[in-house]
């Protein structure tokens, strides 16, 4: 089983012992706004050190779910347990394990990066030298040391985003919740943000990451829940999800010559499930295309086909989403 995230392979920080108890356990969360059931029976589990993606289009209910997990919105039904503590029963204790990075910026524009960090650090109960060192560490992590004295309103959008994320990391939470942290950020800052999230998960922090960018989910997350219309449509590792659409790759052999003979030749290969022929060449549905591709190309050319181009398209979360909901992920 392959994963697209470097997180799983990373060593776990020695002071954070992995236990089997989940960092986050969400059961049957429901929240309605009037007639609209924004969140309709969501259950999730995030294990220690894991990066969990909540993937869904605009209005899927991701933020609403996050708000309930963070104890900012009371669920109509269902429960949230953070590191074993019931959010409804002991919100202060449960919140102590969480670091929230809201979707919208949540920083004081008049305060400098350092003062923003200091204030939120104090609210999290940090003080003295620990507060000081953490503030400096986070400033370095989000790359704002040189701008730390300027009011944050003078920052660029990407810098504000990075500060926004930094505040959530300050107290080294057991679970960091990132709600679409890369929206409206240029590719460079986006890369920096994804890098720093990867660094954190390497360090053993569990992350709950919402996004509507499939690539981000694929790149970062160990496990992903595909969410639409308030429900989790499917959840699992990327490969488990992709298997839902049949784990079949699309191979396009473009070219001319003896197409009919080539079709007959590749059709008999065990990896090939289906072949269609058109004016430009052959389209094959293949199981495990990367390994089967040499055999396919050899068979086709041996049969007298002259190849111009070979394309392999692997199924991705986009096709998973299409498969699950009948809609494209993009807005």
Partner 1 sequence: MRALLVLVAHDLRQHLRDRSMVLFAVVIPLALSAVFSLAFSGVDDPQLEPVTAAVSVPEGDEAAAAVPQTLAGLAEAGIDVTVLEVPADEVTAAVTSGQAQVGITLPQGYAAALADGTGATVEVEVGEDAGLAGQVVVGVVSSTVQAMGRDATAVAAGAELGLDGQQLEALVAQLSGGGSGAGGPSEAEASAADGAAGTAEGAEDGLATGGAAWTVRGVAGGQLSLSAGIVAGQAGMFLFFTVGFAVLTMLTEREWGTLARVRSAPIRPWLVPLAKAVVAVLLGTASTTVLLVAGSLFLENVAFGSWPVVLVLVVAVVAAATSVMALILKLAGTAEQASLMLSVVAISLGVVGGTFFRVPTRGSWARCSRSTRSRRSAAG
Ligand X SMILES: Nc1ncnc2c1ncn2[C@@H]1O[C@H](COP(=O)(O)OP(=O)(O)OP(=O)(O)O)[C@@H](O)[C@H]1O
Contact footprint for Mg ion (CB under 5 A): 62-63, 103
C-alpha distances in Å from residue 136, one per residue of 127, 143, 148, 154: 13, 10, 9, 20
Stretch that binds ligand X, among 57-65, 192-200, 258-266, 282-290 (CB under 6 A): 57-65
Q: Shortest Cβ distance from residue 154 to ligand X (Å)?
A: 27
Q: How many CA atoms lie within 13 A of 40 on its CB side?
A: 13
Binding mask 66-105 for ligand X (x = CB under 6 A): -------------------------------------x--
Min CB(125)–partner 1 separation in Å? 7
> Taking CB within 5 to 8 Å according to partner kind, which of ligand X, partner 1, Mg ion, none is near residue 38?
ligand X
* CB of 62 or CB of 171, closer to Mg ion: 62
CA 33, distance to chain mean position in Å, is 26
Residue 189 binds to ligand X (criterion: CB under 6 A): no
The CA–CA distances, whole Å, from 188 to 133, 192, 231 equal: 27, 6, 33
DSSP string covering 233-291, please?
Answer: EEEE-HHHHHHHTTSEEEEEEEEEESHHHHHHHHHTSTTEEEEEEETTEEEEEEESHHH
Three-state DSSP state, 297: helix
Closest CA to 66 of 34, 89, 44, 93: 44
For position 197 contacting ligand X by CB under 6 A, the verdict is no
The first and second tokens of residue 91, run together, are 């919100």
Contact residues for partner 1, defined by CB under 8 A? 67, 70-72, 91-93, 95-96, 98, 100, 102, 104-111, 119-120, 122-125, 167
Point out which span in 7-15, 51-59, 194-202, 274-282 binds ligand X (CB under 6 A): 51-59
Binds ligand X by CB under 6 A, chosen from 2, 33, 188, 294: 33
Quote the CA–CA distance of 116 and 131 in Å, as a whole number.
Answer: 12
Q: Which is nearer to ligand X, 155 or 213 (CB)?
A: 213
Q: Is 37 or 283 the residue whose CB approaches ligand X more closely?
A: 37
Which tokens is 137 given? 């560490």
List residues binding ligand X (CB under 6 A). 33, 36, 38, 56, 58-64, 103, 180, 212
């Amino acid at each position: 089983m392959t994963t697209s995230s470097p997180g799983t392979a990373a060593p776990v920080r020695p002071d954070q012992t992995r236990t089997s108890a989940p960092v986050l356990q969400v059961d049957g969360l429901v929240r309605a706004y009037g007639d609209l059931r924004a969140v309709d029976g969501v259950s999730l589990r995030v294990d220690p050190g894991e990066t969990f993606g909540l993937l869904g289009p605009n209005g899927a209910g991701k933020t609403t779910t996050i708000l309930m997990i963070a104890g900012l919105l009371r669920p109509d039904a269902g429960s949230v347990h953070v590191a074993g503590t019931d959010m409804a029963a002991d919100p202060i204790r449960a919140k102590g394990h969480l670091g929230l990075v809201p979707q919208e910026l949540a920083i004081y524009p008049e305060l400098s990066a350092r003062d923003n960090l200091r204030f939120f650090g104090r609210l999290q109960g940090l003080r003295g030298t620990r507060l000081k060192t953490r503030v400096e560490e986070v400033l370095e992590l989000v790359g704002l040391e040189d701008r730390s004295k300027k009011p944050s309103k003078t920052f660029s959008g990407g810098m504000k985003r990075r500060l926004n994320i930094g505040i959530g990391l300050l107290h080294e939470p057991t679970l960091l919740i990132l709600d679409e942290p890369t929206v409206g950020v240029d590719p460079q800052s986006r890369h920096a943000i994804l890098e720093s999230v990867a660094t954190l998960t390497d360090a053993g922090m569990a992350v709950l990451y919402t996004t509507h960018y499939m690539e981000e989910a694929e790149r970062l997350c160990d496990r992903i829940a595909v969410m639409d219309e308030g429900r989790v449509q499917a959840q699992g590792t990327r490969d488990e999800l992709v298997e839902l659409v049949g784990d079949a790759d699309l191979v396009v052999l473009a070219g001319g010559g003896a197409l009919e003979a080539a079709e007959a030749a590749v059709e008999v290969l065990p990896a090939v499930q289906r072949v269609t022929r058109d004016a430009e060449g052959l389209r094959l549905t293949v199981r495990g295309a990367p390994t089967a591709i040499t055999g396919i190309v050899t068979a086709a050319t041996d049969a007298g086909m002259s190849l111009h181009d070979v394309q392999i398209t692997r199924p991705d979360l986009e096709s998973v989403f299409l498969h699950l909901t009948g809609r494209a992920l993009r807005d």
